[in-house]
């Protein structure tokens, strides 16, 4: 997969240390097959030039799963797992050059004297994170396509297609989820046997809790650590993310290899995020199955705070440069599918981010306020973006309406139509008020009591 999640210096070192052997280079012509699905594979590939396409065989034929352009690692799962078989067919979409290492590769010593597994851990994590993102995006794209078919009253064909597509997506998501769980257990066992107790504890903390702090909380904790322990800003931020108290950080700083300890928390947190994303992807697939099935009953009880937190986890890359302020004062539970609520918050938050980014809003800011009302809960999501023109605001919940010209990502289109449908199905209401510099969506939902 691509190296978006791998630090540049780390990637360049791996590339030069392991993929610079001219005798281990493969030239592929356009449409030439590198691996077929189910074929044995004991190699890890790096795309030096061109593009590899990965295809998955399903009941309704072969479909494209992802594309790996230049500087992408491919074959990560089969190379590092106990199941050394390719789970996709890899075909060059143009003239492509790839380098590789195999199971006989010797470790290259680095300044930190890390093991081979530790050196490639960023590659494994990046692969899992991006595969999860791609599967989620694919599921959402298919979901939107199915919704359009539904609105065109092609119900019979929709039922058959949605079941088949959902089955294929569910198989792929299940593979990723199982391998992520397996890798999490393997990494945890490796840390317990080779690293310190503090490292193991931080990994477990990240795995169980994930990222629980708002950007405002992190800034406050970072400043505390900078002052109390004289830490550089970047190092203080890494420690702040772990959630350890100032005193615990102080004790940890006096242990051997203290500078590497936050990395173990980051690994655990990444696996936590994978678990959350996997659950949401599964819910989107379930939503595809439910297309055309009216009056779906909501028998579950969901937490507003938890579903908002999980929506923010799924959007962590988009909100990285956004100040997020949360004020969650909800004690009541909602009778709703947890995945439905995540989908509502995800659409509203994503739309707000896209609006601010497209307008180059200086100091973009999101405010989330949730509180109990008489017989229900009110949740508002406010951004400081450009606002919605008065001539358009009454149409934003209509299917297919969008303020974009590209037709790619629908910031005020089908996503909001789905949001309104979910809210109304829960006997709730959604309203919007907007002016330049302030747009607020307010959702009111009844509680279980």
d(CA 370, CA 203): 31
The answer to whether 185 and 82 are in contact (CB under 8 A) is no
Domain spanning 298-446: which CATH class is it, in words?
alpha beta
- Kindly tell me if the per-residue pLDDT of 19 is higher than 90: yes
The answer to whether 163 and 290 are in contact (CB under 8 A) is no
d(CA 282, CA 342): 12
d(CA 35, CA 37): 7
Average pLDDT, stretch 202-224?
A: 82
Annotate 358-391 with b (16+ C-beta within 10 A) or e (fewer): eeebeebbbbbbbeeeeeebbbbbbbbbbbbeee
Structure tokens at 231: 């830490």
Where exactly are the structural domains of the chain? 1-106, 116-294, 298-446
Q: What is the pLDDT of residues 52-92, one digit of tens each?
A: 999 988 766 788 888 889 999 998 888 887 778 898 899 99
162-176-72 Cα angle (round to 5): 105
With bands split at pLDDT 50, 70 and 90, how would you rate the model's confidence at 295?
very low
Task: Look at 16-30, 165-179, 245-259 and tell me which has the smallest mean pLDDT.
Answer: 165-179
pLDDT in the model for residue 47: 95
Task: Look at 152-156, 207-211, 405-409 and tell me which has the smallest mean pLDDT.
Answer: 405-409
Fold of 1-106: Jelly Rolls (2.60.120)
- Does the global pTM surpass 0.95? no
With bands split at pLDDT 50, 70 and 90, how would you rate the model's confidence at 412?
very low
What crossing angle do the helices spanning 261-289 and 233-242 adopt, rounded to 10°?
60
DSSP per-residue letters across 171-216: HHHHHHHHHHHHHHHHHHHHHHHHS-HHHHHHHHHHHHH-----HH
d(CA 111, CA 307): 42
User: Phi/psi at 256 (nearest 5 deg)?
Assistant: -60, 140
CA quadruple 251, 187, 278, 318: dihedral sign: positive
Q: Give CA separation, 105 vs 100, 117, 134, 137, in Å.
A: 10, 12, 30, 35
Percentage of the chain exceeding pLDDT 70: 84
């Amino acid at each position: 997969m691509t190296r978006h999640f791998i630090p540049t210096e780390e990637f360049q070192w791996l590339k030069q240390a392991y993929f610079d052997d001219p005798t281990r280079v493969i030239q592929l012509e356009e449409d030439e097959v590198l691996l077929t699905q189910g074929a044995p594979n004991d190699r890890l590939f790096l795309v030096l030039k061109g593009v590899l396409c990965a295809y998955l065989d399903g009941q309704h034929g072969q479909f494209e799963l992802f594309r790996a352009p230049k500087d992408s690692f491919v074959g990560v799962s089969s190379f590092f797992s106990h199941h050394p078989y390719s789970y996709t067919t890899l075909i060059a979409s143009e003239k492509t050059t790839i380098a590789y290492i195999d199971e006989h590769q010797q470790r290259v010593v680095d300044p930190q004297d890390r093991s081979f597994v530790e050196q490639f851990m960023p590659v494994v994590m990046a692969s899992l994170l991006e595969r999860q993102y791609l599967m989620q995006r694919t599921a959402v794209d298919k979901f939107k396509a199915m919704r359009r078919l539904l609105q065109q009253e092609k119900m019979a064909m929709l039922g058959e297609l949605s079941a088949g597509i959902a089955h294929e997506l569910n198989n792929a998501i299940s593979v990723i989820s199982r391998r992520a769980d397996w890798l999490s257990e393997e990494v945890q066992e490796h840390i317990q046997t080779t690293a310190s107790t503090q490292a193991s504890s931080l990994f477990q903390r990240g795995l169980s809790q994930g990222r629980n702090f708002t950007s405002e909380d992190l800034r406050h904790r970072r400043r505390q650590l900078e002052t109390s322990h004289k830490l550089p800003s970047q190092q203080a931020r890494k420690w702040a993310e772990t959630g350890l108290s100032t005193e615990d950080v102080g004790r940890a700083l006096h242990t051997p290899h203290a500078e590497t300890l936050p990395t173990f928390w980051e690994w655990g947190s990444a696996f936590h995020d994978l678990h959350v994303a996997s659950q949401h992807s599964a819910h989107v697939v379930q939503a595809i199955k439910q297309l055309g099935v009216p009056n779906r009953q909501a028998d579950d009880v969901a937490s507003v705070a938890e579903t908002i937190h999980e929506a923010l986890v799924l959007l962590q890359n988009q909100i990285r440069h956004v100040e997020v302020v949360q004020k969650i004062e909800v004690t009541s539970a909602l009778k709703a599918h947890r995945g439905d609520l995540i989908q509502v918050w995800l659409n509203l938050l994503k739309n707000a981010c896209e609006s601010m980014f497209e307008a180059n809003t200086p100091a973009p800011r999101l405010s989330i306020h949730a509180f109990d009302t008489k017989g229900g809960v009110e949740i508002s999501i406010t951004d400081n973006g450009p606002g919605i023109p008065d001539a358009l605001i009454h149409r934003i919940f209509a299917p297919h309406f969008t303020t974009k010209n590209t037709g790619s990502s629908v910031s005020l289109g089908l996503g909001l139509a789905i949001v309104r449908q979910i809210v109304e199905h829960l006997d709730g209401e959604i309203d919007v008020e907007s002016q330049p510099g302030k747009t607020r969506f307010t959702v009111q939902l009844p509680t279980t009591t």
